[in-house]
Structure 1
């Protein structure tokens, strides 16, 4: 194949650049011991033999030797051009080196117990700064962590062992026989590194086979494309010759679509059609006519073979194309044929010529032949590519709905916010979705800022950038510095190129950036592409561009909220920390006012980080104190942003703020920090510690006369006491808070939020005590200012209202309220309200119609909250699960959730305790253990009495009647019926009627 001008221009990057490289570090095992018994001349000869092997084998696999030092060697793959299979190339080179060294005999006499020569090797990939080397440093000087890690992996490898990091291989590890994935703690590295021991090559050659070996991502969508393929097959079977091409970028799913179609074609017994498969490779098996020779080998042993098969097998290389053509035409005369070639963009010229000859000859003879090819967009036509646009299927990325289905199937319990991150980052590319899901599953949390997945996937992106013309590559890198969304006016200022410039339009054709839905904006097709390109752009170049962008943004202005966020990002990336802190703080305040809690948290954290980076050299005591007080003030506002979605990380920030406040000595500052520690601890379910912080805040605020804080504290203390089921203490405090907050509610939105949440807490306490009518009246007052506003407090109120409606047995209304909590929680990115709404709605569906999916939905919601380290009211979820599981007869799982609910009870979270004990009683009764069942019923009554909960007492009495453990069950039934009627517990009235009609 001939090189394109773009590929040639990109093949010689200047030194001093950041490059994504795969590093192979090899060393001779036991060399120190050998040096003791070998003559110096013999040792030198052995080293010369090693160098000869290094210099022969490494370039054969596309690598470049950076340096040879003694018996060790460092080779790099990805310079001067990154290839998507650099990790595979490095591993193949290591395997061949190890095999060659095992066959190498050192000169001179050897000890009797000499085991032979062997290497130990390490492979790792990452960003490296490549500089010109010298006699001391080798051919190249490689700066960065990746060479060090490759060396450490080599050190960790035993004799004749190859250790490759998972980052460097990823999916390509399936081309090899490896040991199990393991974690390695390397010297000088804070976190363990996932790696494999490579034993040899696997008996596979195609990337699709590697994907199958690893486990295929779910097949979703593609209905229109499958229909087009089916139509083409129908025309072929009717006697036509067709060439249908599928074109899409790497990872979009061409091969998966073809395999789905071919399996369907094979299953059509009533429509006989012989299928031939072949594929092209850019590496290792680059023989002429490769895909057709693969088809020929698959036909070996064909019964009733035509004479042309022997000719094709045994013809000379120069005549082989004619023989293969004759064979395929002979087969097509007998029965319809389907010839499929994957990765046509890597085809050799001989294969392309044969493909065109085959189509032309089949058309001339009127044969039933379908040629199906798959290729990537290359920026220019393939040599001899089909000229009929009607025969080309452009395969688009998955739609948002399809991508969501793929993520859901790969990460069934992942929280919806992480799922949204994966979708945004992957841009509908199935391969990117799969890799990011693997990364998120391994991390157990969201994607890190700028996370692009593994190095091998980054190499796939960078290899495409390397093939761009220099003008286009420069545009892509500048666009990456601007961000995932690129204002056209800003791109024009930085490059001089507008949206309609041919170079910009070419990038859309190359699948990099395309017009956004908003006029005047472009965007990267895949967020992962932007992140990889940005990371590979030189630091000084990036910083200069960020400074230029910041100046341009400030000069143009715009919407203040967006402008502050953009300036905060670009100023931080340019290391202008004072400006970054100022803009991030302002952006956080604006996001908090708009109830965009996730954005507020992100910006406040960015402001705190910028304050940490600000220069302190020569900083006076007054300046240090001002900066310290500012840090504490921002941390307190972070507390405001995270009360609806707190994490242990937020709590750690506030604990540090408390230390700074105490060091400052300002009592007012200390009191407010203690207040936010109490509130965020409450949001995490740490009731005991939160009450301690609340009392400290009260005491300190009284000492310094902070009347504003003292007005807020009764509400916080009341909420904490309610969470601890200390309703007798909670109600007076909540009433005191509500009285004060009503006076102040009209003065600010913050006071109105505080009032509504205090009312909400009072309402659910009243509901728990069975005063349902009064509870709903208070809920109505709490909701009135926010109903339909999509504010975070609306989600919280509706979530608690759903819980009270569940207590009352009003299942349909509970599900409606829970749906609002879930929807609004997702909008404001409050995972707690989102998850609790999801779980409450699922339990309502179980109680109303025994929805079989309810159990999984509650398990999902529980899993979403687990990584945040919070437990507020999680006994609800465990109690609901225990109830469902005990009813389904899954005793083991039910007992687990009974235990988890009761564990929360020991932390003063008792809302699910009575339900858990009832589930335990049901399980015991089912096993015939009457004594234990009665004991659990007594504990359920006690757990309800702890909260003075009338509805819990009634439901426990109903279960006692249903289980009929003793003669008192009729009295229990009558007592439950009377209470259900009195409290308007409609769903439980129906359940009691069913129980009464069962035979005694």
Structure 2
């Protein structure tokens, strides 16, 4: 079959079509009361008048009546053809209906207080399955959530009120006089819905026509950003290592800017630069180290390749990151290198770690390397806005703004050179400077040749634009773009050829490229959607049965093409095809691969996908037992993946695994599940419960003779006892674990991690007891295998180093260690170490220079952890906050955090207890309550003695001297000073000397 003649067969959808529709639901207000006083014949005549209005007005605005039931009506806009202005049409129809019904006079006598006829209406847009209707169901049967939401909006509307969801109206709200945007909690919907009340039409009229051929959006503006990139490239060519990160929302033009710059960089005549490109995806099919492996594959045909290329190509998953690092550094020694990664916000943690290692390695050697990344902004919640970029926190950031008005006008003019200037201005306003919106609006105008109306900023608006373009494609091209969407955002040409008979030179493929749906990727043999949003819209609009059939074919082709290397892709496509046994197998294998590569976030996703797939497998006697055992085994590996970033969801999975294990009666299975329950519970700060699970694991492991588990348990129990401030029992357990782990650390990286973490716990216990020199020696041993590696355990160790340095009053060093913990925690997606590093660094800044922003930084860090339900060592944060707030005199807030810190004692977290009591003593002294202040100081001493903490005793004595509660304050000052000097607590010693 040749490319030019290969048919693209559409798979029929037996149950109907998926359509993006805008739905208008209207109902008569007060109809029940009217039915009581109106004669039946008069009521029937009124209903006939309503129906006549519905049947006249809805089609006038391009809508189709789906059904009329009593005095209510459901109309759809976007069938049989989706239009980009369906939201506006539905709203215009609602306004005209409301006005017409107000003028409608019901027949017969009416009560004196009758207010007249009025409607209440709701408008919403979404994907709907459209089936042919009948006499009972109306003209169409509409299945999906969108009709229900439209009905709920109508229910929420008051008399003569129209409520339109933001998703359906979006930027088209400028055509109407609306109230402010508000959130509405609808019955049966979990999350609030953003909506507007529509009061009438605004004095805005638009016409639009277009006669320009479709083409690539022009590149306009961005002069400042290009100059910044060019300057960075020039510095790189002279031997500098730089990292620039471009940040902007979807569609603002990150990719367009970088493509222009990369084209210029590749054309360097005086001194060439080698350009590497990689992309990240958000799907389960994305593999660990994805962008770097894409670069590696693009280098496959490189002439005069360094020997490191062969090693990178053939290394095992766990060694691939090292091989890739070696390769890229070797290339940089030969010629300047430019590494570009797009959509960094979806990068897996192994890729992020390699990116940071690459930057650090090149800097050490002084190599000419320019790292360029593009990512979307951080979440907009108040707590997360102040979190430095988890992906590109070390980069010099270029925040890419929307186009200016002048730039947007130039873009429209180049795309539509003969356009009416009023329409051009309309496009600018609707696009808001977003190049993607400008491009889509201009394409729509060129396709229809009609006036373009206001666009929408929400997903429904963009989806309507994309769907309207797809709907106007010839059937062959429309089917091809649907096949490509099911494959994914990046489309291997060989796979498209196998599915549709179309290679890169096929006329249909070239037509789609000319119309900016898909275009040749920089990697040979691949195509790519112009925008991932376009791919998502086309995919969602493709019928379920057609999608599933395509997913099955894709899975078969991938398996034949090399299934052992493509577990992530196979897991995704098998799950989408409802082939649950295959999906479970490949997701489990993909999770194991990601775990071996230390891509912990990717491993968690894949293991969760495997568990979800197992739920669909048969549950008979033998099959059910095997399925449950497998579920437990995968859940335990999920536990391994979440020890550095656990959540309550992870704990719930393991609790379910424990229930399954107990039901099986297998002692060994129960022991290991109890072990992971204890470890994940420890990571969440549930120390008391975790100790109970650890003891159960010890008992079960002894019963079944699980020596491997028994070898691991002393370290876990010691860590739990240390977290509970039970240092007397913790130290012997940690010493036992360290002795065993030292012997085993040479055999595997996992054992080395366990050893380092046990050493870290021993170090901070010794530090808490005032043995600072020993603590720092042990920290050095723990850190040595991981220092600068970007591994999650490095973040944990540096976080605890920061805490011990804060105890010692070495503020500057504590801030440096905290910064590393925060940075590495962000790289590896460990929110706990990231947040704790952020908080510790802020407290160090407060102690060193009374930084006024410290309070807010610690509050932010606390808020970051709150959604995960974790509390490990959170008494630290509350103790720091209580100390700062009490010093600032904010008594109410200080008492709140004192209570929070002390409440953590219920889970045996006493690490911040003494500090909280000292803050309470400071507050009491400020109020003149000497007796209460002395009592709190006594409690602070007791909390320190409980941990045998010499530094806590000394700091409590210092506060006693500072408060001058009695005539013995000088003795307390001298006692504190002697201890500070003996323990090397330099920052505190300076405070004592100032009294």
Structure 2 length-normalised TM: 0.72
- What is the aligned partner in structure 1 of residue 938 from structure 2? 938
Partner of 2:578: 575
Of 173-182 and 845-854, more deviation after overlay is shown by 173-182
Offset at 1:74?
0.8
Seen in structure 2, the aligned counterparts of structure 1 residues 106 and 475 have a Cα distance that, compared at 3 Å, is same
2:499 is equivalent to residue 494 of structure 1: yes
Q: How does 1:72-111 map to 2 (within 5 A)?
A: 72-111=72-111
* Match of residue 667 from structure 2: 667
1:913 maps to which residue? 913
- Who is 1:404 aligned against? 377
Distance in structure 2 (CA, Å) of the matches to 1:99 and 1:676: 65
Quote how far apart the aligned CAs of 1:124 are: 2.7
In the alignment, which residue of structure 2 is the partner of 1:729? 729
Matched, 1:608 2:641: no
1:546 is the counterpart of 2:545: no
Query: Aligned residue for 2:487?
Result: 482
SS at match of 1:53: helix
Counterpart in the other structure of 2:182: 181
Whole-angstrom distance in 2 between the partners of 1:504 and 1:884: 63
Displacement after TM superposition at 1:466 (Å)? 4.1
User: Shift of the alpha carbon at 1:764?
Assistant: 0.8
Please give the residue correspondences for 1:6-85 in structure 2 after superposition, counting only pairs within 5 Å: 16-35=16-35, 37-85=37-85
Match of 1:273 in 2: none
- Cross-structure match for 2:197: 198
CA shift, 1:501, in A, is 6.2
Give the Å deviation of 1:873: 0.8
Secondary structure of the residue aligned to 1:829 is coil
User: Bigger CA drift: 649-658 or 826-835?
Assistant: 826-835
Count of aligned residue pairs for this structure pair: 780
How far residue 405 of structure 1 moved from its aligned partner, in angstroms, is 7.7
Aligned residue for 1:747, secondary structure, equals coil
* Residues 416, 527 of structure 1: alpha-carbon distance in 2 compared, 3 angstrom cutoff: farther
Q: Deviations over 1:162-194 (max 9, x none)?
A: 4444544456567453477354342xx362553
Q: Between Structure 1 and Structure 2, whose CA radius of gyration is higher?
A: 1
1:252–1:416 CA distance, 2 compared to 1 (3 A): closer
Deviates more, 1:570-579 or 1:459-468: 459-468
Instruction: Pick closer, same or farther for the CA change 1:707–1:469 going to 2, 3 Å.
Output: same
CA distance in 1, matches of 2:641, 2:249: 41
Q: What pairs with 1:197-276 in structure 2 (closer than 5 Å)?
A: 198=197, 200-201=199-200, 224=223, 252=252
> Closer, same or farther in 2 for the Cα pair 1:471/1:974, shift >3 Å?
farther
The CA distance in 2 between the partners of 1:546 and 1:959, in whole Å, is 68
Conserved 8 A contact 2:47-2:70: yes
How far apart, in 1, do the equivalents of 2:380 and 2:515 lie?
Answer: 26
CA contact (8 A) 2:252 2:400 kept: no
What are the Cα deviations for residues 958-987 of structure 1, in whole angstroms up to 9, with x where unaligned?
223333333222222222222222222233
**1:652 CA drift (Å):** 0.8
Conserved 8 A contact 2:384-2:860:
no
Aligned to 1:300: none
Question: How many Å apart are 1:926 and its aligned residue?
Answer: 3.9
What is the 5 A alignment of 1:272-283?
A: none
Q: Structure 1 residue 537: deviation in Å?
A: 1.6
Mapping for residues 638-787 of structure 1, pairs under 5 Å: 638-787=638-787
Task: Say if 1:414 and 1:863, in contact at 8 Å, map to a contact too.
Answer: no
Greater RCO (CA < 8 Å, at least 6 residues apart): 2
* Contact 1:131–1:141 (Cα < 8 Å) also in 2: yes
Residue 143 of structure 2: aligned partner? 143
Change beyond 3 A, Cα 1:755–1:434: farther
Cα deviation for residue 793 of structure 1 reads 1.8
Contact 1:472 1:507 in 2 (8 A): yes
User: Which residue does the alignment assign to 1:835?
Assistant: 835
State the 1:418 CA deviation. Answer: 10
Output the CA distance in 2 between the equivalents of 1:553 and 1:573.
14
Give the direction of change, closer, same or farther, for the CA distance of 1:140–1:434 in structure 2 (3 Å limit): farther
How far did 1:522 drift?
4.4
Cα separation, partners in 2 of 1:223 and 1:418, compared to 1, 3 Å: closer
In structure 2, the partner of 1:818 is 818
Change (3 A) 1:223 1:427: closer
Q: Residue 643 of structure 1 contacts residue 683 of structure 1 at CA under 8 Å; is this kept in 2?
A: yes
1:404 counterpart SS class: coil
- How far residue 497 of structure 1 moved from its aligned partner, in angstroms, is 4.5
Partner Cα separation in structure 2 for residue 789 and residue 226 of structure 1:
32
Asked whether 1:564 is paired with 2:567, we answer yes
Q: 1:588 corresponds to which residue?
A: 591
In structure 2, runs of 5+ residues without a counterpart are: 1-12, 207-219, 228-247, 255-371, 404-429, 435-456
Q: 1:178 to 1:918 in 2, by over 3 A?
A: same
- Contact conserved, 1:648 with 1:868, CA < 8 A, in 2? yes
Q: CA deviation at 1:898?
A: 2.5
Partner of 2:540: 535
Which deviations, in whole Å up to 9, do the C-alpha atoms of 1:354-388 show, x marking residues without a partner?
A: xxxxxxxxxxxxxxxxxxxxxxxxxxxxxxxxxxx
Q: Distance in 1 between matches of 2:472 and 2:809?
A: 64
Q: 1:521 to 1:903 in 2, by over 3 A?
A: farther
Residues 734 and 28 of structure 1: CA distance in aligned 2, closer, same or farther (over 3 Å): same
In the aligned structure 2, how far is the partner of 1:883 from the partner of 1:29?
59
Change (3 A) 1:250 1:914: closer
How is 1:169-568 mapped onto 2 (pairs within 5 angstroms)? Answer: 169-170=169-170, 175-178=176-179, 181-186=182-187, 189=188, 191=190, 193-194=192-193, 196=195, 198=197, 200-201=199-200, 224=223, 252=252, 403-404=376-377, 412-413=385-386, 455-456=460-461, 458-466=463-471, 470=475, 472-498=477-503, 512-513=517-518, 520-524=525-529, 526-557=531-562, 563-568=566-571
What is aligned with 2:448? none
What is the Cα deviation at residue 472 of structure 1?
A: 5.0
CA 714–453 in structure 1, closer or farther in 2 if over 3 Å, else same: farther
